[in-house]
Amino acid sequence: MPVPGTARAPCRWNPRRPPPSAPPPTCPWRCPRRESGELLGAYGLADAAAAQLVRREDGAPAVTDGPYLETKEYIASFYLLDCESLERAQQIAADMPFADVEPVELWPVLHESAADM
């Protein structure tokens, strides 16, 4: 069975959560892109209060609460796309349900680690 959030997984709610009263507003946007293979994953991040800062001290992890943001904004979720061109990525971003009222940031991925890492 495909892992939820991968390109082969069907578009559906997380089975560990109670079913929603209405479909998510982005599902009509996500499902066609997942089926085309352009949407590799959609990820929601925990609240910034749950984040941690990890450093190495004397060869061991040193973990503190964090991050210490000096801003009112942070990334709450992101979509990972694989598009044929920049223009296609721009079109997908413009098709987001809220793109007419809020901007959508489009960030290129610089590189991917090897699969055997």
For residue 104, pLDDT over 70 is answered with yes
Residue that wins the pLDDT comparison between 4 and 22 = 22
Asked whether the beta carbons of 78 and 43 are under 8 A apart, the reply is: yes
Going by pLDDT thresholds of 50, 70 and 90, the confidence category of residue 38 is very high
Asked whether the beta carbons of 80 and 33 are under 8 A apart, the reply is: no
Residue that wins the pLDDT comparison between 107 and 50 = 107
Average pLDDT over residues 94-105: 86
Q: How does DSSP assign 11-50, residue by residue?
A: S---TTSPPPSS--TTHHHHHHHHHHT-EEEEEEPPPGGG
User: Which residues on neighbouring strands pair with residue 64, listed in sequence order?
Assistant: 53
